[in-house]
Structure 1
Amino acid sequence: MMNQKSQSRWVKWRWPILLIVILGLYLFQLPYYYSQPGDALVLDDVITVEGADEETDGSFMLTTIRMGKANLFFYAWAQFSPYRILHPESQLRFENETDEDYQHRQLMMMTDSQEVAKIVAYEQADKQVSYQYFGVLVTTLIEGMPANEVLEVGDRIKAVNGVSINTAEELIDLLAGYSKGETVKLEIERNEETTIVTVGFSSFPEEMNAPSDRVGIGIQAPVTDREVTFDPDVHIDTSQIGGPSAGLMFSLEIYDQLTEGNLTKGNLVAGTGTIREDGTVGRIGGAGQKVVAADRAGAAYFLAPFEEGAANSNYEEAMLAAEDIGTEMEIIPINNFEEAIAFLDSL
């Protein structure tokens, strides 16, 4: 038994000790990221097309997930809901990538997504878009793959096997169809000097969970380096939101401001999905979590990538989440920008 003196000492120190233990548990980070449903952001608050009429009824909304490094508290908290998810760090971060590098990569993808969304909207609305291309920027190199040996972040790729390229999509298309052990010649610009380098193909690292028969040179998230001007001018302010998953919703809001009428018909329309310059809507992460965010914001419709009916598509994931939470919000399958416009016109 404690004597009175020992007991008094314990009473005196127990709260500071407990506070230190709690602080230690909170600060001790695990090799995981933790995510949960985020917000639904009204896009006419952050997108402004010069000369566009302000609409008072209905809104397009992008949906987000909240993500950060996991500690023991978040690890435990994630066990109590299917919408609080743990992601192994190796699935999201490259080896030796710093927090600043990771955030920079996310913001670069967001910037590229915004530009593509503007292009899709302006071309669909028959508005003026002017381009000046400079090549494709290398933003991320994958450790252990061939490109990491000969390329540097910041290199500008100008041609593949003598074929000039302007966009990241063209680069990806020209690098498709190769086998392990084959090589390509890349014309690159580095420090204002142009040179030719030979790069091989290899399998992707196991932690990237790529198909076993898929090969590549080891460039991730290349960015089209160009100067694009729009008439009328358009401005997007999304602060520190990162990643490319708002492309579809950006393009719809911009198109709505560029054209007559109100695409939303007075509804709150949320959604997610990347977008390519040809209007194709692509897969994103966290579709179920974004359905929860949209439902909390009172959205009537949620647009989700259908992926041409692929198994385990974002649309399927969104439908499962909608059924699970019992929302009245309708989940709409979308393959491309034209389908999204057709659906909105039908409201």
Structure 2
Amino acid sequence: MRKQWKQITLIAILLVLIVGFFIPMPYYITKPGSADELEPLVSVKGHPETVKGSFSLVTVAQSPANIYSYVASKFLPYHEIEKDDEVKYEDESDEEYNVRQMYMMNESKNNAIQVAYKAAGQQVEVEYNGVYVLSVMDDVPAAKYLHAGDLIKAVDGNEFKSSEEFIKYVKSKKAGDKIKVDYVHDKKHESAEIELTTIDKKGTVGIGITLVDDQKVTTDPKVDIDSDKIGGPSAGLMFSLEIYSRFQDEDITKGYQIAGTGTIDPDGNVGRIGGIDQKVVAADKAGADIFFAPDDTITKDMKKEDPTIESNYDLAKKTAKEIDSDMKIVPVKTFQDAVDYLERLEKK
């Protein structure tokens, strides 16, 4: 009888341990991911890779938390626990989150192509089709009309050349004002009078949507970027450097393994990203010699909201010191900053 109870107890313990892996928690675990060379992902017709070094994007690994990963992350270095609502928008499903990440990556690729081709003196044309709606806040008037996947073509009869122009126009209005929005829903052209509202605690006026530009970028020669397994906008800078390198007569890597991160806009400005410390760890493990980090500006408002906030560059430099890395951490505000640094670099 005692033996039977031991068996039952053992089975019960095993069941509890197994179930612990599947009990969902409202958290995500992030940790250092990988540094992936861009050469296999980028193809420019007639311009194969010729550099002896490499350019690599760097990732952060992310997964839903279970009881065990949550507890382990309390003790493991460079493992972060993030609340569900810090990762996803309110009422956003996992599928919608993944779609949003893919569209952000697509916008990042388009920006990188524009920047690289213009800098290399190559032909690039951009056809702006409107603002693609990624999600809509539940408690705004726009929710009656707009849905994820809709394409906004014009506002008050105005067509825009970028989402920045769209946002600037909307912000020039007041909460309570109504604007006429022309949009495409399920391949049908629609229009609606939508009341503007405040969308955050600061009183920012808006429609209440997250968005990306819907652009068609045409280049000569043709360029293809295989990024189906990569989400988010943080590889923009490194994509632009990889593409730019294909048009140079000399090896701009100078033989170094170069990793980095940062968003890129069509004007070549490099933007702040999340998980910079984890990306430094991943790049160091991959043997990178140089790491480009966004040299972003921390405003008074940002400091007021989070007194512990640091610029990407400062945190990257601090992390490299903590892990005793030999990587050179290089601050960049623009694509041109990175190019200028590479031009000054001595061959390895």
Q: TM-score under structure 1 normalisation?
A: 0.90
Matched, 1:214 2:204: yes
Q: Distance in 2 between the 1:249 and 1:130 partners?
A: 21
Q: Secondary structure at the match of 1:258?
A: coil
For 2:215, the equivalent position in structure 1 comes to: 226
For 1:59, the equivalent position in structure 2 comes to: 54
From 262, 268, 276, the equivalent of 2:251 is 262
Q: Distance in 2 between the 1:258 and 1:246 partners?
A: 20
Q: CA deviation at 1:76?
A: 0.7
Q: CA deviation at 1:269?
A: 0.9
Moved more, 15-24 or 293-302: 15-24
For 2:11, the equivalent position in structure 1 comes to: 16
1:302-317 correspondence runs (5 A) = 302-308=291-297, 312-317=310-315
From 326, 337, 348, the equivalent of 1:339 is 337
Match for 1:141: what amino acid?
V
For 1:160, the equivalent position in structure 2 comes to: 155
Matched, 1:298 2:296: no
Q: Distance in 1 between the 2:205 and 2:68 partners?
A: 39
1:18-167 correspondence runs (5 A) = 18-55=13-50, 57-167=52-162
1:254-295 per-position Cα deviation (integer Å, ceiling 9, x unaligned):
111122211111111111111100111111110110000011
1:237-269 per-position Cα deviation (integer Å, ceiling 9, x unaligned):
233221111011111101111222111111111
1:235-254 correspondence runs (5 A) = 235-254=224-243
Match for 2:293: what amino acid?
A
Matched, 1:197 2:190: no
Match for 2:318: what amino acid?
L
Q: Distance in 1 between the 2:150 and 2:238 partners?
A: 31
Match for 1:329: what amino acid?
M
Q: CA deviation at 1:195?
A: 2.1
Q: Distance in 2 between the 1:45 and 1:21 partners?
A: 44
Structure 1 residues 213 and 318 mapped into 2: Cα distance closer, same or farther (>3 Å)?
farther
Q: Distance in 2 between the 1:179 and 1:321 partners?
A: 44
From 268, 275, 278, the equivalent of 1:289 is 278
CA contact (8 A) 1:32 1:88 kept: yes
Q: CA deviation at 1:122?
A: 0.9
Match for 1:277: what amino acid?
P
Q: Distance in 2 between the 1:137 and 1:118 partners?
A: 19
Q: Secondary structure at the match of 1:80?
A: coil
Match for 2:62: what amino acid?
M
Q: Distance in 1 between the 2:157 and 2:284 partners?
A: 50
Q: CA deviation at 1:181?
A: 3.7
The unaligned stretches of length 5 or more in structure 1 are: 205-210
CA contact (8 A) 1:129 1:230 kept: yes
Q: Distance in 1 between the 2:164 and 2:317 partners?
A: 30
Match for 1:34: what amino acid?
I
Structure 1 residues 174 and 259 mapped into 2: Cα distance closer, same or farther (>3 Å)?
farther
Q: CA deviation at 1:18?
A: 2.6
1:290-311 per-position Cα deviation (integer Å, ceiling 9, x unaligned):
0000111111111111124656
Q: Distance in 2 between the 1:12 and 1:322 partners?
A: 50
Q: Secondary structure at the match of 2:259?
A: strand
Q: TM-score under structure 2 normalisation?
A: 0.90
Structure 1 residues 24 and 111 mapped into 2: Cα distance closer, same or farther (>3 Å)?
same
For 1:170, the equivalent position in structure 2 comes to: 165
Q: CA deviation at 1:9?
A: 0.8
Give the superposed CA RMSD.
Answer: 2.0
Q: CA deviation at 1:69?
A: 0.6
Q: Distance in 1 between the 2:166 and 2:174 partners?
A: 16
Q: Distance in 2 between the 1:183 and 1:281 partners?
A: 35
Structure 1 residues 215 and 321 mapped into 2: Cα distance closer, same or farther (>3 Å)?
farther
Q: Secondary structure at the match of 1:307?
A: coil
Q: Distance in 1 between the 2:168 and 2:269 partners?
A: 15
Q: Secondary structure at the match of 1:172?
A: helix
Q: Distance in 2 between the 1:289 and 1:250 partners?
A: 20
